[in-house]
């Protein structure tokens, strides 16, 4: 190493430089790992939001089915009322 870099560079500076580079690589690796963990957390949050949207759609479908059943019950009450009025008219005549 000394021969390649020249004898004017003290060995401790070369070692310090290598150590600094290694520490910086380690820090960058940790930052990248944290970024990856954050990406995974964001993906999980998005999946949870999608599950909640699906639950809300299902609740809305249930409310819609209940509204349709209520409309059908009301129509049946009206038909029953008409049948009852028809029977009363028959009895009167």
5 near 14, Cβ under 8 Å? yes
Nearest to 1 by CA among 22, 10, 16: 10
In Å, how far from its chain's centre is CA 61? 20
> pTM (2 decimals)?
0.57
22 near 9, Cβ under 8 Å? no
Q: Is 8 helix (H, G, I), strand (E, B) or coil?
A: coil
Residue range 21-70, pLDDT digits in tens: 999 999 999 999 999 999 999 999 999 999 999 999 999 999 999 999 99
């Amino acid at each position: 190493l000394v021969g390649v870099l020249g004898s004017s560079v003290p060995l401790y500076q070369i070692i310090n430089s290598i150590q600094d580079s290694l520490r910086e690589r380690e820090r960058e690796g940790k930052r990248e790992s944290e970024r990856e963990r954050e990406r995974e957390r964001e993906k999980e949050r998005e999946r949870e939001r999608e599950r909640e949207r699906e639950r809300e759609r299902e609740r809305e479908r249930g409310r819609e089915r209940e509204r349709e059943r209520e409309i059908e019950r009301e129509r049946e009450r009206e038909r029953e009322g008409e049948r009852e009025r028809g029977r009363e008219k028959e009895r009167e005549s």
